[in-house]
Chains A and B, each alone.
Chain A
Amino acid sequence: MGKLDEKKSILSILVDNKPGVLSRIVGLFSGRGFNIESLCVAETTDPLVSRITIVTSGESRVLEQIKKQLNKLINVIKVMDFTDLAFVQGEMALVKVRAKSEHRAEILRTVDIFKARVVDASPEYYIVEIIGDDSKIDAFLSLVKPMGIKEIARTGTIALAREKK
């Protein structure tokens, strides 16, 4: 169980799109004993800038220190913490699930309920693509787990702040 003050935080970090920048960020977390729960990185519309989305958790004092330390890195352009903002988040997972003939219908029904889709099918397995927040993906996984999950690939969370309406 976490400490009382411990909370999860989604950080969206704009950085210079240069070699070694990701390793500076990751090195900062490991070197200072901060935890990374998930991490996504890709180029933005500006090819000189990448966006890194990190889900981390800690006491508020630790989270404040994480943000300050990130801001201190020369290649970090901006750090946004979505904790107290309106934001949308998503994650994608590919799930290779055992598809015995007696389970196929149920799997497809579950896929349908979760608005996921089967992207590959073989005599033994389906590969299902599912998009949503992490709790949705967790819920889907718990339902198909009894059939037998062979492999999972998850992207980790990506997020963007909502604009004012």
Chain B
Amino acid sequence: MKLTGAQIIMKALQEEGVDTIFGFPGGAVLDIYDALVKTDLRHVLVRHEQGAVHAADGYARASGKVGVCLVTSGPGATNTVTGIASAYMDSVPLVVFTGQVPTALIGNDAFQEVDIVGITRPCTKHNYLVKDVEELERTIREAFFIARSGRPGPVLIDLPKDLVQAKTSNRPIKEVRLRSYHPTYEPNSKQLPKVVKLLKEAKRPLVFTGGGVILSKASEELRRFVAKIHAPVTSTLMGLGGFPASDPLWLGMIGMHGTYRANMSSGECDLLIAIGVRFDDRVTGRTDAFAPNAKIVHIDIDPTSIRKNIPVTVPIVGDCRITLEKLNALLETEDLGNIKEKRRPWLDQIEEWKSTMPLDYEQSDVIKPQFVVEKLYELTRGEAIITTEVGQNQMWAAQYYHFDRPNCFITSGGLGCMGFGFPAAIGAQIACPDKLVIDIAGDGSIQMNIQEMATAVQYNLPVKVAILNNGYLGMVRQWQELFYDRCYAHTEMSCAPDFVKLAEAYGAVGLRATKPEEVEGIIKEALSVQRPVIMDFQVEKEECVYPMVPAGEPITEMLLV
């Protein structure tokens, strides 16, 4: 039987287990949309293509599946670039389909033509321009394979209009095999005993985890590992939820806005076991002063992450879950002695840091943003999926909402992309219709993709947006306060919409709190309605995120107030 390119795409998507596509139609993809509506695939119409990619990102991270987007050529394609770059930095599996002008017009500066394969080459795991319909199904199958395997990432497929119209006989693809792509999942068995040896010698070990733990579904093995070695645990922003925040060995996040005890532990530890991290500069601060006394074990599936920024004593290329499984099996056969007693001086020291320098703020008669996040945590019992925008809101969410489970904190970590949180929340809500999804936002960030409120209303998604509204681009203002003599150059957003009316204009619910005593009430009200809600919290305008490590300084040298 002959199928059109568009029909082949639908068939391949269904065989890959796709049920939801985020997209925005246009001339170059009309045939694909025509085929799409004749299937049972769910399409979510966003209001901007950037929203489609962030939504697919949130969907992927909340569901553990590959997120899929479909957009048209030219501007449709270029509007996806920020979302793709964000997914690339955070290793999120996505397949992005872009329309392209007919093959005969490629290179002729045709209407809505853009070289999207060229544009996205540095920010995709791989990308394709398909020029032969015979290659279409294989390409799609390869794209899904590449997106979800090894270190996951976004893959883009550019589809010329004539290619999706062309017909060919359907020849199913049984297996995807790529000559040159073989991710290493199994760790080198010679490296593992070295880790055990270092663990036996260490007096002050520290486990440092990242997004790789969540991506490889290693949380359970991590918990077992930590229980065996009885070492404290810290994580990157992307790693939050990989280890339960309620565990006594949890130190909180490390890095520029890490907790005092986590950052000090990195300075004092004699063994750092880094799992699924890439030593981002926001984590390490000045690299030569990062964990200066420690031998470093680094487990990561991506060899390029190892020794890129930090010298490593024991490099282990492998999947985090498989590696931890094998390490745990090895540790079963080892006698680590009375490990709890051995760790006591180290954990006592950490406890002292915690008691002398806890995460703290002073609530006055103006709403403190930290108070709002704490209340959200309390009233949702920590069970919500939290997405964030970028900036102060993101850091307060990371510090004051505590995550016990993976895939519950969805944020643009690597790219730091304002406008991410709200569409990501939409994607997460679609992936998890029974869960509560809250986007913790700033008044600046939310305005970058506020138009997606129409998407939330159209699909009856009860996403909640909590705007920590301080009338500034808060994090940039904080830097100006601390490092630019309080010269607030263009960070005051003196004209913002009335977010309550804006919510209502879209057909959502708008709520506002201007005093601390109103916070609990409006959160409760927001949680009680099964509709999209914007909560506008008028918070302290010049509140800062502390601790803070000035860029390029050692992370043990924190500004605390």
Chain A residues close to B by CB (< 8 Å) = 15-16, 20, 23-24, 27-28, 31, 61, 64-65, 68-69, 71-72, 74-78
**Can you list 11 A-B contacts (CB < 8 A)?**
A15-B180, A16-B179, A20-B117, A31-B122, A64-B307, A65-B304, A71-B303, A74-B125, A74-B126, A74-B146, A75-B180
Bound CA span A87–B126, Å: 32
Bound CA span A31–B120, Å: 12
Known: A23-B121, A68-B304, A77-B179. 9 other contacts (CB 8 A): A20-B121, A24-B121, A28-B122, A65-B307, A71-B303, A72-B303, A74-B126, A75-B180, A76-B180
Contact yes or no, B307 A16, CB < 8 A: no
Query: Does B497 interact with chain A (Cβ within 8 Å)?
Result: no
B241 to chain A, nearest CB (A): 27
Task: List A contacts of B17 (CB < 8 A).
Answer: none
Task: List B contacts of A24 (CB < 8 A).
Answer: 121
Task: List B contacts of A20 (CB < 8 A).
Answer: 117, 121, 129
B303 (CB) vs chain A CBs: closest residue: A68
Contact yes or no, B304 A72, CB < 8 A: yes
Contact yes or no, B146 A65, CB < 8 A: no
A14 (CB) vs chain B CBs: closest residue: B180
A51 to chain B, nearest CB (A): 14
Bound CA span A27–B121, Å: 8
Bound CA span A78–B122, Å: 20
Q: Which of B297-316 contact A (CB under 8 A)?
A: 302-304, 307-308
Query: Does B248 interact with chain A (Cβ within 8 Å)?
Result: no
Chain B residues close to A by CB (< 8 Å) = 117-118, 121-122, 125-126, 129, 146, 178-181, 302-304, 307-308
Contact yes or no, A16 B180, CB < 8 A: yes
Bound CA span A24–B121, Å: 7
Task: List A contacts of B179 (CB < 8 A).
Answer: 16, 77
Task: List B contacts of A75 (CB < 8 A).
Answer: 180
Task: List B contacts of A72 (CB < 8 A).
Answer: 302-304
B302 (CB) vs chain A CBs: closest residue: A72
Bound CA span A61–B303, Å: 13
B535 to chain A, nearest CB (A): 41
Task: List B contacts of A64 (CB < 8 A).
Answer: 307
Bound CA span A99–B307, Å: 54
Bound CA span A28–B123, Å: 11
Contact yes or no, A74 B178, CB < 8 A: yes
Bound CA span A158–B307, Å: 29
Q: A77-B179, A77-B180 are in contact. Are A65 and B121 (CB under 8 A)?
A: no
Bound CA span A68–B303, Å: 6
Task: List A contacts of B126 (CB < 8 A).
Answer: 74
Contact yes or no, B122 A61, CB < 8 A: no
Bound CA span A47–B281, Å: 43
Contact yes or no, A74 B121, CB < 8 A: no
B529 to chain A, nearest CB (A): 47
Bound CA span A148–B204, Å: 69
B183 (CB) vs chain A CBs: closest residue: A72
Task: List A contacts of B308 (CB < 8 A).
Answer: 65
Task: List A contacts of B125 (CB < 8 A).
Answer: 74
Bound CA span A75–B118, Å: 15
Bound CA span A78–B303, Å: 15
Task: List B contacts of A15 (CB < 8 A).
Answer: 180
A62 to chain B, nearest CB (A): 10
Bound CA span A65–B122, Å: 16
B308 (CB) vs chain A CBs: closest residue: A65
A20 (CB) vs chain B CBs: closest residue: B117
Bound CA span A160–B275, Å: 38
A148 to chain B, nearest CB (A): 41
A24 (CB) vs chain B CBs: closest residue: B121
B312 to chain A, nearest CB (A): 11
Bound CA span A24–B120, Å: 11
A69 (CB) vs chain B CBs: closest residue: B304
Task: List B contacts of A68 (CB < 8 A).
Answer: 303-304
Contact yes or no, A27 B181, CB < 8 A: no
B127 (CB) vs chain A CBs: closest residue: A20
Task: List A contacts of B146 (CB < 8 A).
Answer: 74
Task: List B contacts of A28 (CB < 8 A).
Answer: 122
Bound CA span A68–B301, Å: 12
Task: List B contacts of A31 (CB < 8 A).
Answer: 122
A48 (CB) vs chain B CBs: closest residue: B179
Task: List B contacts of A65 (CB < 8 A).
Answer: 304, 307-308
Bound CA span A15–B146, Å: 17
Bound CA span A15–B180, Å: 8
Q: A23-B121, A27-B121 are in contact. Are A74 and B307 (CB under 8 A)?
A: no
Task: List B contacts of A71 (CB < 8 A).
Answer: 303
A16 (CB) vs chain B CBs: closest residue: B180
Bound CA span A69–B181, Å: 13
Bound CA span A72–B178, Å: 13
Contact yes or no, A23 B118, CB < 8 A: yes
Task: List B contacts of A23 (CB < 8 A).
Answer: 118, 121
Task: List A contacts of B307 (CB < 8 A).
Answer: 61, 64-65
B118 (CB) vs chain A CBs: closest residue: A23
The 3 closest A-B pairs by CB, nearest first: A77-B180, A68-B304, A74-B126
Bound CA span A15–B181, Å: 11
Bound CA span A71–B129, Å: 22
A23 to chain B, nearest CB (A): 7
A65 to chain B, nearest CB (A): 6
Task: List A contacts of B181 (CB < 8 A).
Answer: 74
Bound CA span A77–B179, Å: 7
B180 to chain A, nearest CB (A): 4
A28 (CB) vs chain B CBs: closest residue: B122
B128 (CB) vs chain A CBs: closest residue: A20
Task: List B contacts of A16 (CB < 8 A).
Answer: 179-180
Contact yes or no, B122 A27, CB < 8 A: yes
B507 to chain A, nearest CB (A): 44
A155 to chain B, nearest CB (A): 26
Contact yes or no, A74 B180, CB < 8 A: yes
B420 to chain A, nearest CB (A): 23
Bound CA span A78–B182, Å: 12
A97 to chain B, nearest CB (A): 39
